[in-house]
Structure 1
Amino acid sequence: MSGTKKDSHWIPLADLMTVLMVIFLFMSISYMALVEKRQKEQNQIFKDYEESKITLYNELNEAFKNDFAKWDLKLDNDLSIKFTNPQVLFPTGKSDITPHFQSILTDFLPKYLSVVLQEKYKNKIAEIRIEGHTDTKPIGLTNDPYIDNMKLSQDRGRNVLAFLRSQKSFLYLHPTEKERLQYWLTANGLSYGRTVDKDYKLSFESKQAVNNDKSRRVEFRIVTTSETIIKEALKNIE
């Protein structure tokens, strides 16, 4: 009789262990499915981001395909458009935009806006920087040529931005588009902190000799919302 009672206690315990194992197995399968789902979502986020960059590059390339040689433009994979002829841009050591460069900018702006203001890029662009870059030659205003050139590059970037804001292609924009551009557009002076070599590679990275002629340039650089995209991807795998 006592043996029968002992066995009756162990049978429910065995059943309980089986139930717990089934529950654990179900939780493991569910967790693996969740991880796989989040991995797919993360991959899709990065895929969409990369496809947007490629599409943006291709559309800029198409918009200016007839202007690269004519205006001395260069489009890089980082979505920057460089005006590379220093004689066209500004008088030596000055920040006033030459009449020739004004004419170029007047034609450049509507083409550029027709690409970046498309609705599909509204949440893909974080900033559009108008960057002024100088060569390494001292200007002679102070004892610090880097700071002298910083002021010059900042003045040039600001003057380009001011000129663009005076154009009909900007003034006649829809208010929401104008507001978006005012959020995106910034004027930045980088002095000779990002000089380039003969191949337009950053000399700091290439370790090649600085090409002063090519370093004097203005760039329209698109900064994407990559930080937001990365945060969203990380959130999905937490």
Structure 2
Amino acid sequence: MKLTAAISYKVEELAEITDSEIIGNKDLRINNARGIEESGGSSVTFADQKEYLELALKSEAAVIVSSQQICKELDSNLKEKKTFLLTDNPRRVYAQIADLLTPRPYESGEISDKSVLADTVKLAENISIHPGVVIAKNVEIGKNTVLAPGVIIGPDVKIGANCLLHPGVIIERETIIQDEVIIQSGAVIGSDGFGFATDENGHHKIPQQGNVIIESEVEIGANVTIDRGASGPTVIRQGSKLDNLIQ
């Protein structure tokens, strides 16, 4: 398995990426994003309230993401010892930076010889497929997508680029997953809906003939189940975020 290289950025680079203003040393190199109490000498943290800025100034963090208004509210000599990235939305900018500095889990760029792939599977470049993954016929998977251990993909599924499927995810037949989708462990996508016709002889299953479409930039929490439609598709719209245990 390939080892992920350490990720680091100069403050100047982070400011350009996040459209933030630098106060302090633009040449500092940062390699992790942490909460105030967990920060170290190469960390960036954030303070979106005055009381948090007071704590951040006393922390070991090298860089603090905050706002002009909050910095003006606090009169402290400690501000001269820190480097700041100033923005109108410190929490959002911190999230951007944390995303840049955090390697994607399970990303290896390799296909395990302990996975099982049908002959008709189509893979783009830089796919990571871990042990225990099973992929059925006529599946298409886009570039940079990661399938963690134990993922099962049914037939005729299409998965886009830059997706991450955590361990134990099951994607049933004919599901369509667009780009930049994250699915947490244990989720089941595309299983049959609960459809029955009832008469005096009991309950009779109605075939579930639809599928599931998950649009781009969706995140689905652990152990979520999303059923296929009875006739048309079940659609999760672009940018939706689903918490754990939703059915």
Q: Quick check: which one's strand share is greater? A: 2
Q: Quick check: which one's helix share is greater? A: 1
Q: Give the structure-2-normalised TM-score.
A: 0.24
**Max radius of gyration: which structure?**
1
Q: Give the structure-1-normalised TM-score.
A: 0.25
